[in-house]
Structure 1
Amino acid sequence: MISKTDDLLLVSQVVLFNSHKAFEQLVQKYQSPIRRFFLNLTFGDEPLSDDLAQETFIKVYLHLQSFKGAAGFSTWLFRVAYNVYYDYIRSSKPYLEADYEDVSPHAEAERPQTDCKMDVYESLKVLKSEERTAVLLFYMEDLPVEKISKVMNCPTGTVKSHLARGRDKLAEYFKGTGYEVNFG
């Protein structure tokens, strides 16, 4: 397993010696978490998640010399991934985010219930994009609030608010679908 110190050593090797092998080790370590992050943000769209992950690692490779080491490499990497995702959103068709309260109560009955994974992806749709990002980084990627704050480039209090609103909306959603949920 590669430690944070090893991350810095690998980054240095890539920047100073253009070591493809060192970059490959970074990709191997982080490709699953980055792909999972995108998979959840895109509600399970695997081809799109793979494309966004690939674009993230290309950008990381091209701009690795801008990594200053003030935050951990993983924090910087997730920040790049977050920016790639929002660049994609901005470049795609404009869309309106609906608050959970705006969603028709009949919408749940209209959608087929196939499995638990689909329920999770459906539940993520009730969150605003900032809430969804904060919830995914906190619960799925196990990042602390301080790192999420750096990834999202917002104060820790804002991240905590996104998490609280996200938890409340998810609890309400799951309660409405018959699941027992405890985010404690």
Structure 2
Amino acid sequence: MGGLQTDAELVGRALAGSDAAFSRLVERHQAPVRAFLRRTLGGGWAEADDVAQDAFLAAWRSLRSLKDPAGVRPWLCGIAWRKAQDRIRSSRRGAARDSVWLESIQLPAGVSPEEKLALVDAMADLPADVRACVALCLADGWSHGEAALALDLPLGTVKSHVARGRARLLKALGGPDHDA
């Protein structure tokens, strides 16, 4: 087993029946998937881990549906997103989750408690799909194309969701809202 294997090589081995290869894929991608889920769900580690576990189990079961073995990360985040949507629909505690998430992040110096609460409210008011786009593109630094692929949304929709979400968050912090 020489060198670091690519995602495509690990997918090939997993499709051939290697549990170890799939475990390596999970190890490689679990941190970004869990971070995405924490931001999307707005909750703590436990809920993100539960949804991530469901997503990785679903990924193992549907590995043959992966069209591009090199595109494992967006595919996994897409599965995680659908699992998160199921969780959001079954339990409408978005505002409380957003509050926990926002309390856990480091805001820029000079952001007052009042501004932080306004940001909590602004995040709580964002629809789940807008919140997911904001989490991937603004918090995680994904491209709009990667987010579109992962969330199974048209590219233009992702771009408008990010712009709308950014504008609402800036407005909550007292910034310009002309893009809203």
Q: Is the structural similarity TM-score above 0.5?
A: yes
TM-score, reference length from structure 2:
0.76
> Cα distance 1:69–1:128, how it changes in 2: closer, same or farther (>3 A)?
same
Deviation at 1:10, TM superposition (A): 0.2
Specify the alignment match of 1:10 in structure 2: 10
Q: Matched residue of 1:175: which SS?
A: coil
Residue type of the alignment partner of 1:172:
K
Residue type of the alignment partner of 2:88:
I
Deviation at 1:72, TM superposition (A): 1.3
Deviation at 1:94, TM superposition (A): 5.5
CA contact (8 A) 1:126 1:169 kept: no
Gaps of 5+ in 2: 107-115, 176-180
Task: Report the number of matched residues.
Answer: 158
Q: Matched residue of 2:125: which SS?
A: coil
* 1:5-154 map, 5 Å: 6-16=6-16, 18-69=17-68, 72-90=71-89, 92-93=90-91, 117=105, 119=116, 122=120, 123-154=122-153
C-alpha distance in structure 2 between counterparts of 1:168 and 1:82, whole Å: 23
> Cα distance 1:116–1:150, how it changes in 2: closer, same or farther (>3 A)?
closer
C-alpha distance in structure 2 between counterparts of 1:142 and 1:74, whole Å: 14
C-alpha distance in structure 2 between counterparts of 1:60 and 1:116, whole Å: 29
CA RMSD between the two structures = 3.0
Residue type of the alignment partner of 2:36:
F
C-alpha distance in structure 2 between counterparts of 1:63 and 1:115, whole Å: 36
Q: Deviation string for 1:110-158 (max 9, x for gaps)? A: x9xx956284982532322111111111123322111211222222111
Gaps of 5+ in 1: 99-110, 177-184
C-alpha distance in structure 2 between counterparts of 1:150 and 1:71, whole Å: 13
C-alpha distance in structure 2 between counterparts of 1:12 and 1:71, whole Å: 10
Question: Does 1:166 pair with 2:161?
Answer: no
C-alpha distance in structure 2 between counterparts of 1:116 and 1:41, whole Å: 14
Deviation at 1:172, TM superposition (A): 1.1
Residue type of the alignment partner of 1:63:
S
Q: Deviation string for 1:8-56 (max 9, x for gaps)? A: 100110011x112111111111111111111112223221111001111
Give the 4+ runs in structure 1 shifted more than 3 A. 118-121
Moved more, 65-74 or 163-172: 65-74
